[in-house]
Structure formats: structure tokens, C-alpha cells
């Protein structure tokens, strides 16, 4: 990745932040985007040997995504890798959910990916670069009490799979990366039924894959130009396998697994 220009959205925390450190360690120059500029500036200070452009951006706004890519090209002249990582989660039964919460998830997770990819595409085609969508196992199996989250991740997967096929002859690389449960603050800021932040994670984060390990796998998949990356065996690969061959069993296992969460909204 030496001298490659890597754009990472949602870079202020979690997997996005870990990706910034991982690609920096491989010699890339970084364009980091997030709403919290102070967090991005802190990363700049912690990576003094890496060329970094930090851009404050809300990916749910098309003009912010256009500005992000413009600034990237103005500064570095090209884009080699776009990692669509920005995303939010939720936790509430659909029956209780204000539909504005689902719209907000689609705006950030799905439309943010579409807007950024659309703006970066002409530059990525020139470099025969990579588009990455960081989804979730929720993009392969519907997670109860996460209807909006699963819907957005399925949508991203469908969008990127179609984009890959459109570009079979152009040299564009498209990767769909699906981590299992990964330690990050995404569950702390997950939206509840009325759109307020959950405030604390319902899961034991210490038992999850670290964001740093996840970032290494994604960076390796970009280097190898893989089409798909499914992480963790039980929550990842086994889930996808069961979804294909034993879907009814997977439904029951998923229901029983998710209802064991503390303060689960369903029993």
C-alpha cells in the first residue's frame, strides 16, 4: 500500500480508526472523514510520519461526500482505495420503532456508501482502485431488534455486488467486508426506538474481535483484491453457511442468541 491514497469514512473511532493506523503502517497516505474533527486531529498527532488529510463530513449529505472526494484529489491527485466504513446501529422492535430511525440508518449506512462511491468512482476507475463496503453479518442474516440495521447492510451488499459485476471489465476492485461482532462504540451510540442513543453496550465487548484485528483482515483483503470477507467462524462463516443450507434453523438460533442480551426488547 506504499504511496496509495486511502479514503476512510467513519474514521474517528472503532474499525475506521483502526483502519487508519493499519493502512498508515503499510505506507499509505490517508484521507480521514468523520463528523468529529477533534478525533481526526488526534489521529494526525499520533501518526506524525503519515500524510493525512482530515475532512469533517456527514456521509448522509451528498454534498459532504462530493466535497470529501474533491479535497482528496486536490491534495493528493488521485484515490486508490475508498473504504465506506461510516455507520450507525439501532436496537428496538420494529413494532415500537419510529420509522424516522430506520430512515436515519439508511441515510448514513446505505446512502452514505452510495454518495461516497459515486463521487469517488471516476478517480477509482483511473487507478483501477478498490471500493470497500464494511457491512456486518447483519447483511447476511436478519437480526431481530435491528431491522433498520440489517436492511441497510443488506442494501449495501446488493449495491456493491451489482457494482462489481458492472465493472468486471474496468479493473475496479469491489470488496464487501462483513465482520462479526467487533469491539467498538457502535453499540453505545446505537439508536433506540425513539432515536435516542442507547448509552451502553448490551454485550461483553472484551469477548469480541478487536477493531485492530478486523482492520488487518480488511487491509489484507484489499491487497489481495478479494470480493468478499466474512470474519469470525461461528458468528460469521457458520452463520452464512446455515443461511444458505439450513435457513429455518438459523432463524431459531439467531432468535435464541439475540434474546439472551441484557434488557432484550423481545423474549
Catalytic positions, written as ranges: 149
DSSP H helical ranges for 14-127: 14-25, 37-46, 62-76, 99-105, 112-127
- Sheet-wide strand order for 228-230: 52-56, 29-34, 5-9, 81-84, 130-134, 173-178, 228-230
Q: What angle do CA 78, 129, 210 make, to 5 degrees?
A: 105
Give me the residues paired with residue 81 across strands: 6, 130
- The single residue listed with the C-alpha cell 446455515 is 242
What would the grid cell of residue 116 be?
A: 461516497
Amino acid at each position: 500500500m506504499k504511496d496509495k491514497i486511502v479514503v476512510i469514512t467513519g474514521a474517528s473511532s472503532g474499525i475506521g480508526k483502526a483502519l487508519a493506523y493499519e493502512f498508515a503502517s503499510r505506507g499509505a497516505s490517508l484521507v480521514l472523514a468523520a463528523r468529529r474533527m477533534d478525533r481526526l486531529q488526534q489521529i494526525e498527532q499520533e501518526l506524525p510520519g503519515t500524510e493525512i488529510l482530515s475532512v469533517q463530513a456527514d456521509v448522509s449529505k451528498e454534498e459532504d461526500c462530493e466535497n470529501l472526494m474533491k479535497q482528496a484529489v486536490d491534495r493528493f491527485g488521485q484515490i486508490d482505495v475508498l473504504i465506506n466504513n461510516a455507520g450507525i446501529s439501532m436496537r428496538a422492535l420494529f413494532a415500537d420503532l419510529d420509522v424516522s430511525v430506520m430512515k436515519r440508518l439508511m441515510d448514513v449506512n446505505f446512502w452514505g456508501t452510495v454518495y461516497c462511491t459515486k463521487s469517488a468512482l471516476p478517480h477509482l476507475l483511473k487507478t483501477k482502485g478498490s471500493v470497500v463496503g464494511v457491512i456486518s453479518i447483519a447483511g447476511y442474516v436478519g437480526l431481530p431488534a435491528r431491522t433498520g440495521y440489517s436492511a441497510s447492510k443488506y442494501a449495501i451488499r446488493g449495491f456493491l455486488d451489482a457494482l462489481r459485476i458492472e465493472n468486471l471489465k474496468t479493473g475496479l476492485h469491489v470488496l464487501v467486508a462483513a465482520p462479526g461482532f467487533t469491539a467498538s462504540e457502535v453499540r453505545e451510540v446505537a439508536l433506540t426506538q425513539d432515536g435516542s442513543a442507547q448509552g451502553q453496550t448490551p454485550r461483553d465487548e472484551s469477548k469480541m474481535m478487536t477493531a485492530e484485528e478486523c482492520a488487518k483482515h480488511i487491509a489484507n483483503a484489499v491487497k489481495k483484491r478479494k470480493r468478499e470477507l466474512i470474519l469470525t467462524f461461528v458468528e460469521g462463516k457458520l452463520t452464512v453457511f446455515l443461511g444458505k443450507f439450513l435457513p429455518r434453523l438459523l432463524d431459531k438460533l439467531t432468535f435464541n442468541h439475540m434474546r439472551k442480551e441484557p434488557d432484550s426488547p423481545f423474549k
